[in-house]
């Protein structure tokens, strides 16, 4: 906080942007815009992965939540919205702006997050598996209820809306998940001479030609650009994800063995179900049981089906034929704990899609505890695994992992399908940035990537466009001159 106050004291007429998350890591996105009159936070995510990052969630906020006028969300994933109830718990009473789909999905994600935290705290207290006495959740369901009352869904689009008296927001589809948007923020009176300044927040940029969602759209040029770099150091594999998934399922059927897919309940689970349904319709895979083990995934799937304004042309065409594009021929959602436990009593070939996507928590851990030691089982990763997560440790070849403080040997078959990623790779990100070359930004900032990926993305942009590009650190302040 002192760094911001110092910057404001030196230049009281200049608006600032501070990086309080989403830098040096792919999680915890929080970007604070401060003007003479307003303070607006772009995204409010939880830190995940490495313990040193997760510990930030439990520290006092680095800014005063009571002084924040509004929060604007790019999308509903936990690393962009998961800290909101903690912000409210610490005194935030402003408004939360987002798309209608983001509001619906954020409600599901935050309610689930609070319930899981409460359950885990209770479980650790009963088992004595805690360094704190008693173990407490970061926030509870009451905090979430208070948070949801602050949501103000907007139509947005190119017409935009006022997030504060001197801060106006426009948005365009980002293609990352249902309701995801890239934001272009206009800040009035930002510079020392009262100039207007614009900031473009990429949010998480998705891929083109993905199920259900419209393709990403690049907003108009801006003075400052923040671009994500989750895959800033790599290109997606050329393999067809649908064909790779078909191969995994056919192999499991032939061996009469289970497939466990860690997948975020919102976004990735729906992608997997869409592809399995298409493969079944095309006769490319046998019909085997599919279990989506997540109450949140079940509820999110209903949101995906009803948000027709977010659908691409292919999905609209399927729904117009009164078909459910997200339902396979032999599937079921597990909502209760009892239903989840019964999944582990099943035998034979089956697909279990379970939260969470990086194996840091959720029901996936209960399934993994039984299936990861099984040489016949296949653990199939379909998304990015951040440093420090259980999923990353398995992908990195560690022979043993810990689940609920129990050592679990890794003996299962491991498959990674890269084509399901919800993030653009660096070539796709460069193509997304291309329209901005008409009017070069004053400065580009690389965000939402691990250090190697962020530095690589910096080099790619400098080489392609010759722009001024830097990689900010946690707590860095820039003046919007």
Write the CB contacts of 303 (distance below 8 Å, at least 6 apart in sequence): 101, 104, 105, 108, 178
- 9-33 pLDDT, tens digit each: 346 679 999 999 999 999 999 999 9
- The pLDDT of 254-282, averaged and rounded, is 94
* pLDDT classification of 3: cutoffs 50, 70, 90: very low
- 284-322 pLDDT, tens digit each: 999 999 999 988 899 999 999 999 999 999 999 998 888
* pLDDT classification of 130: cutoffs 50, 70, 90: low
For residue 262, report the phi and psi dihedrals to the nearest 5 degrees. Answer: -70, 125
Give the global pTM.
0.86
| Predicted pLDDT at 9 | 38
| Predicted pLDDT at 10 | 46
Distance CA 35, CA 40 (A): 9
One-letter-per-residue 3-state SS of 43-109:
CCCCCCCCHHHHHHHHCCCCCCHHHCCEEECCCCCHHHHCCHHHHHHCCCCCEEEECHHHHHHHHHH
Residue 46 sits at the vertex; the CA angle it makes with 44 and 49, to the nearest 5 degrees, is 150
| 470: preceding bond cis by omega (within 30 degrees) | no
- 192-204 pLDDT, tens digit each: 888 999 999 999 9
DSSP state of 388: T
What is the number of alpha carbons within 13 Å of residue 103 lying toward its C-beta? 19
- 320-364 pLDDT, tens digit each: 888 899 999 999 998 888 999 999 999 999 999 998 889 988 889
| Predicted pLDDT at 11 | 60
DSSP string, 203-250: -S---SS-SSBPPP-PPPP-SEEEEE-TBTT----SS-HHHHHHHHHH
- 444-479 pLDDT, tens digit each: 999 999 999 999 999 999 999 999 999 999 999 999
| Predicted pLDDT at 121 | 83
Please report the sign of the dihedral spanned by the C-alpha atoms of residue 177, residue 293, residue 48, residue 399.
negative
CB of 380 closer than 8 Å to CB of 261 = yes
Distance CA 375, CA 372 (A): 8
- Of 233, 234, 235, 229, nearest to 470 by C-alpha is 229
- Please name each of the domains of the chain with its CATH number: 2-234+422-479 (3.60.15.10), 241-420 (3.40.50.10890)
| Predicted pLDDT at 125 | 83
* pLDDT classification of 2: cutoffs 50, 70, 90: very low
- 355-368 pLDDT, tens digit each: 888 998 888 999 99
């Amino acid at each position: 906080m002192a760094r911001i106050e110092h910057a404001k004291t030196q230049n009281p007429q200049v608006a600032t942007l501070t990086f309080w998350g989403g830098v040096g890591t792919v999680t915890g996105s929080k970007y604070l815009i401060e003007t003479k009159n307003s303070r607006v936070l772009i995204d409010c995510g939880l830190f995940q992965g490495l313990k040193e990052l997760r510990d930030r969630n439990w520290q006092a906020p680095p800014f005063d939540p009571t002084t924040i006028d509004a929060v604007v969300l790019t999308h509903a994933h936990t690393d962009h919205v998961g800290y909101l109830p903690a912000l409210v718990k610490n005194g935030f009473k402003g408004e939360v702006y987002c798309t209608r789909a983001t509001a619906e999905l954020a409600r599901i994600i935050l309610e689930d997050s609070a319930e899981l935290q409460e359950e885990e705290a209770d479980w650790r207290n009963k088992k004595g598996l805690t360094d704190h006495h008693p173990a407490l959740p970061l926030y509870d369901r009451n905090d979430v209820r208070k948070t949801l009352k602050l949501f103000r869904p907007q139509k947005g689009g190119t017409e935009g809306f006022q997030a504060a008296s001197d801060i106006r927001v426009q948005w365009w589809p980002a293609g990352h998940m249902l309701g995801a948007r890239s934001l272009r923020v206009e800040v009035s009176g930002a510079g020392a001479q009262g100039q207007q300044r614009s900031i473009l927040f990429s949010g998480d940029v998705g891929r083109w030609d993905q199920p259900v969602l419209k393709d990403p759209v690049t907003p108009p040029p801006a003075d400052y650009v923040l671009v994500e770099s989750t895959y800033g150091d790599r290109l997606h594999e050329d393999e067809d994800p649908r064909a790779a998934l078909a191969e995994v399922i056919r192999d499991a059927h032939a061996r009469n063995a289970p497939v466990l897919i860690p997948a975020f309940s919102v976004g990735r689970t729906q992608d997997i179900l869409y592809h399995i349904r298409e493969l079944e319709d095309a006769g490319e895979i046998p019909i085997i049981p599919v279990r989506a083990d997540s109450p949140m995934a079940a509820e999110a799937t209903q949101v995906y089906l009803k948000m027709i304004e977010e659908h691409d042309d292919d999905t609209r065409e399927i729904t117009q034929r009164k078909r459910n594009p997200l339902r396979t021929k032999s599937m079921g959602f597990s909502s209760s704990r009892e239903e989840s436990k019964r999944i582990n009593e099943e035998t034979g070939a089956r697909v279990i899609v379970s939260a969470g996507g990086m194996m840091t928590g959720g029901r996936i851990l209960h399934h993994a505890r039984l299936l990861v030691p099984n040489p016949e089982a296949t653990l199939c990763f379909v998304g990015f695994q951040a440093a420090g997560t259980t999923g990353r440790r398995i992908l990195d070849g560690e022979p043993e992992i810990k689940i609920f403080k129990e050592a679990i040997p890794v003996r299962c078959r491991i498959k990674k399908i890269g084509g399901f990623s919800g993030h653009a790779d660096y070539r796709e990100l460069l193509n997304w940035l291309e329209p901005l070359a008409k009017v070069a930004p004053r400065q580009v900032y690389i965000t939402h990537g691990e250090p190697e990926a962020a530095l690589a993305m910096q080099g790619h942009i400098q080489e392609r466009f010759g722009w001024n590009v830097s990689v900010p650190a946690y707590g860095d302040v820039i003046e919007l001159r």
